Amino acid sequence: MKSLQKQEKFVGRSGLRREGPAKLCGLARYVDDLPLPGCLHGVTLRSSIPCGRIKGLRFDPAFAWDECVVVTAKDIPGKNVVALIEDDQPLLADGRVRHPQEPIALIAHLSRARAYEALKHVRVDYEPEEPVLTIEDSLAKKRLLHGADNVFKRFEIVKGDVDKALAESDVVVSGEYRVPHQEQAYIENNGMAAWVEKDGTLVVTGSLQCPYYVHKALMKAFGLPESKVRVVQATTGGGFGGKEEYPSMIAGHAALLALKSGKAVKIVYDRAEDMAATTKRHPAVVRHRTGLSKDGKLLAQDVEVVMDGGAYVTLSPVVLSRGTLHAAGPYECDHVRVRASVVATNTPPNGAFRGFGAPQTLFAVELHWEKISQSLGIDSLTLRRKNAFDLGSTTATGQKLSESVGARECLERAALRSGYAARRKRYDLWNKNPRNRTWRGAGLALVHHGAGFTGSGEVYLASKAGVELTRDGRVVVLAASTEIGQGTNTMFSQIAAETLGAPLDCVEVAGPDTGRVPNSGPTVASRTCMVVGALVRRACLQLKDELDRAGRGARDAAALRRAARLLCGREASRRFIVEYEPPPEVRWDDASYKGDAYGVYSYACCVADLEVDKATFEVRVLRLTTAQDIGKAINPLLAEGQIVGGTAQALGYALLENPVYKDGAMLNAQLTNYIIPTAPDTPPIDVELVERPYSRGPFGAKGVGELPMDVPAPAIAAAVFHATGLWVASLPITPECLCREFHDRF
Amino acid sequence: MRGDPGATTVLRPATPRQALDALRREPRALPLAGGTDLMVSWNAGLLGGRTVVDLSRLRSWAAIRSGRESVVVGALATHAALQESAVVRREFPLLVAACATIGAVQIQNRGTIGGNIANASPAGDTFPALAVYEPLIQAVSASGRRLIAFSEIFAGVKKTTLCPGELIESLELPFLRPKPSRQLFRKVGTRAAQAISKTVAAGLLWLDKKGTVAELRFALGSVAPTVRRLSAAERFLAGKRLDADSIAEACRLLEKDISPIDDIRSTRHYRLEVSKNLLRQFLEGR
């Protein structure tokens, strides 16, 4: 591509974050900081049982209820649902609860402490029913929670003839892999504020990823037209998917209280409530049967995936879809079958979390290589070299990979940079010496991650984004894509300035506000840079054409001001809005699950070096080396930051984060006992960026947001296996499991 | 934040006498030292409208005074101050090591040794070190003062033998003469910092010239309702040589003194196995 050879001025450079100074100085305002004089504080009465009928609410007559505003399902003016894929989740439970922590009623008071106190003075009378709490009980139809079989959604991918190919294989290796819930643990808890304007417009603002999801949900729950609902993102302290769907619930709650009280209402969760009530990563069981030739050529993959969706459908079908599409890994195989389902249980609904189904199934397929390696006597690096995707490979859905395939390059670069093969040998020697107090090991994994929405998702989204030139010569990027700590604002500015040839400080990014910006779709699925960034670039090209036609460049602020007067005329600004156009070469069939599942894939390889204490079974990761093909790093420092952060989050998933559930509720809903890694738990992380440009991405960029979360867990599990010889195929690999395995073995 | 500032009374006595009088008048009031535990409960809205007696103005209770045969550590000495004290570093390295593993730097800067003891968590990180150093605790109330042996201070989970209205003023740690031949502190937590112990161990061993055990002191935390010395193993090894058989027997006897449980942080099995491994490693001198 010619444009890529040109020297770029802003793209590919590590400029400072746009909102960095305000955040560092404490000037950025999160929802809890917003001054709303006279506002009420809302709290939520939640179910204390997993499942049953609500017989009634009893309000303590001794409590001063006249100081409070109380809302129940009766107060909902529109439909009692949190609108998403299927409208099955109520905004407030009406007559029955289906999971612990389900919202039943809302209370608001001028004082937050008094509102919490009020909660202690309401009793809910239940008629409890026998709950279904595990995947196994749900599949066995211990009780029917959904449809005829408790299955929310099923997918099947079939390529070739798996049964025949398995029968003809030299070896068949089977394995079962399990992954638990995982908490997003964003730094800012969920929170929303709502009020009703004099003209009847319902306004909500708060911590969120997807303003138009909240917009849609509020329209339905309140029976309001598009123009009477306005959603504004406040500064948001992280999301990781955890603020994709649940903000619609909290926004609805704050709005109900605001409507009934006639005042502004804030609902800000504390950590305990946030962890207990909001969404987690889906737990999953994945089973593999893999057929290979004696020399390690992959002949057949038979994969079964079951995820736990929790009590309502929410986003489970799409999470499952991504899990299904990544279940076979980045390997070429002629005969593949993936059968996947997501089932209902009486637990809080699981939802979006960085990776969105892929980390679950990629953990299984990647760790399975260690099992295959054992039965073939060939190391897993060699096995991957024999089978990994290359240009021209065909995926499980029959997609032919025609550009930007960095799988092998990532594999070789990470292996080389970490000295993987030599280290494995050194560790084998180390482990032979009984005087050493630790065992050491190295493990490796390779993954792909499809950027953007699955299959035809981007077509249905039909995202719009754009740019406007204001009369005073400012260039403003218009998109609903949110800055949640990942660098959206900085990256959009770089793309716009580069495309226009304008100075970076003449470019601004409009704050996401449904009253002002077009719907560029949700800030999820590693799509903001690749998909929305490409729209921003297209819109900027249109603006640039106009500037060129007017004989004015965008060279500096003065030139832009002159051009603006010409282009805007009497208007305050000129807008250039473009809509997503599906690339003509992308073909996908939802019915058969065949075709181009994603426009393109990013790739990553990770090598983990670690040691295990022989006395305490504590695992200390010594270093993580990773090479990631993201097409093009628009801002290399931010891209590297995404990779380092995702890697640390995956280290927690692999070794530390152990959600404990009892009767469907999370027992360790606090950061004291739900263990995420601290800085001293995080080893040096060595990142190498691989840039195989994608013709449809802005300046060649692909997705980077989720990819780093997919790859470290199986690499760490493989390294633990190498170090100890103890086979642990379920996460997290805690010292307790290793101690138990060791004890059972010796 | 679920605690209600409007419903909380905070008293700020300027002298020990004022503090003790306040507590005599209101024995159910909560003494506030560093606040690292109290604020967690307050934040969760668990303290109702209880009165708080803030001890932070009692500066004299934060002093660390070295004598000829012992050091007297004021109850309000912080975990950070203990790590900085030259005499504590020289004479009581296990206590220094323990203080360095508590929470993180911010907690160490606020948390106090007296508050740590009075809070009586089964997982208190300094307790195994204190258990092997055998300090005497000076307790005071409006009506008088008394000495309590460290081994007598805990009554159960989150319970001490202090009476209502009684405060810990200081603890006196006797210097060890002769110095031990071998020592150990090891915290096995949930992660590298900001961690609560799954098991925490401190050990002192004196060997005589023939290589037999003159004295062993070994204590474990988080494996029983209160910190435990391994009395059975300590008695058994006294006067014995440390060989494979005697070490194995000591590890077996460990179970007589601890009673670990399955909880949210770990398992009985793990705590027991790891406690044995730590004792074995210590006795083997590895």
Q: What is the pLDDT of residues B190-235, one digit of tens each?
A: 999 999 999 999 999 999 999 999 999 999 999 999 999 999 999 9
Q: Does domain A284-454+591-745 have CATH number 3.40.50.720?
A: no
* Range from A283-287, A622-626, B40-44, B267-271 carrying the lowest mean pLDDT: B40-44
Residue A740 one-letter amino acid: R
Contact A305, A284 (CB under 8 A): yes
Contacts of B154 (CB under 8 A, 6+ apart): B120, B160, B161, B225, B226, B227
- Residue numbers of B between 122 and 141 with CB closer than 8 Å to A: none
The distance of B161 to chain A (nearest Cα, Å) reads: 28
* Segments of chain A with pLDDT less than 50: 1-4
- How many CA atoms does the CB half-sphere of A101 hold within 13 Å? 25
Cα separation, A401 vs A161, in Å, equals 22
**Cβ–Cβ below 8 Å for B264 and A656:** no
A270 → closest Cβ in B2, B192, B286: B2
The reply to whether A463-579 shares the fold of A284-454+591-745 is: yes
pLDDT of residue B5: 83
A436 touches chain B (CB under 8 A): no
pLDDT class of B6 with cuts at 50, 70, 90:
confident
What are the chain B neighbours of A266 within 8 Å (beta carbons)? Answer: none
Q: What would the pLDDT profile of B150-176 be if each residue is shown by its tens digit?
A: 999 999 999 999 999 999 999 999 999
A185 touches chain B (CB under 8 A): no
pLDDT of residue A2: 44
Mean pLDDT (chain B, rounded): 96
Q: Smallest Cα–Cα separation from A624: which of A535, A709, A545?
A: A709
Instruction: Give the CATH fold of the A463-579 domain.
Output: Aldehyde Oxidoreductase; domain 4 (3.30.365)
Q: What would the pLDDT profile of B58-78 be if each residue is shown by its tens digit?
A: 999 999 999 999 999 999 999
The angle subtended at Cα B66 by Cα B61 and Cα B72, nearest 5°, is 40
Q: Is the pLDDT of residue B246 over 70?
A: yes
Q: Which residue of A has its CA nearest to B276?
A: A615
What are the chain B neighbours of A743 within 8 Å (beta carbons)? Answer: 269, 273
B206 touches chain A (CB under 8 A): no
For tokens 């601890």, name the residue. Answer: B258
Interface with chain B: mutation pick from A436, A736, A738, highest number of B CBs within 10 Å: A736
User: Which runs of consecutive H residues, i.e. helices, occur in B185-230?
Assistant: none
Q: Is the pLDDT of residue B132 over 70?
A: yes
pLDDT of residue A3: 47
Cα separation, A271 vs A268, in Å, equals 10
pTM for the model stands at 0.97
B191 → closest Cβ in A435, A614, A675: A675
Asked if the bond preceding A583 is cis, omega within 30° of 0, the reply is no
Contacts of A745 (CB under 8 A, 6+ apart): A726
All domains in chain B, ordered by first residue:
5-54 (3.30.43), 59-174 (3.30.465.10), 182-284 (3.30.390.50)
φ, ψ (nearest 5 deg) of residue A626: -140, 140
Q: Is the pLDDT of residue B30 over 80?
A: yes
Interface with chain A: mutation pick from B106, B184, B223, B270, highest number of A CBs within 10 Å: B270
Class of domain A38-129+185-277: alpha beta
A270 touches chain B (CB under 8 A): yes
- ipTM (interface predicted TM): 0.96
Query: DSSP letters of A299-332?
Result: EEEEEEEEEEEESS-TTHHHHHHHHHHHTT-SB-
- How many CA atoms does the CB half-sphere of A340 hold within 13 Å? 32
Copy the structure tokens of residue A367. 């760790």
Cα separation, B113 vs A140, in Å, equals 54
Domain boundaries along the sequence of chain A: 38-129+185-277, 284-454+591-745, 463-579
pLDDT of residue A1: 43
Cα separation, A67 vs A114, in Å, equals 9
Copy the structure tokens of residue A165. 């190919």
Interface with chain A: mutation pick from B42, B188, B283, highest number of A CBs within 10 Å: B188
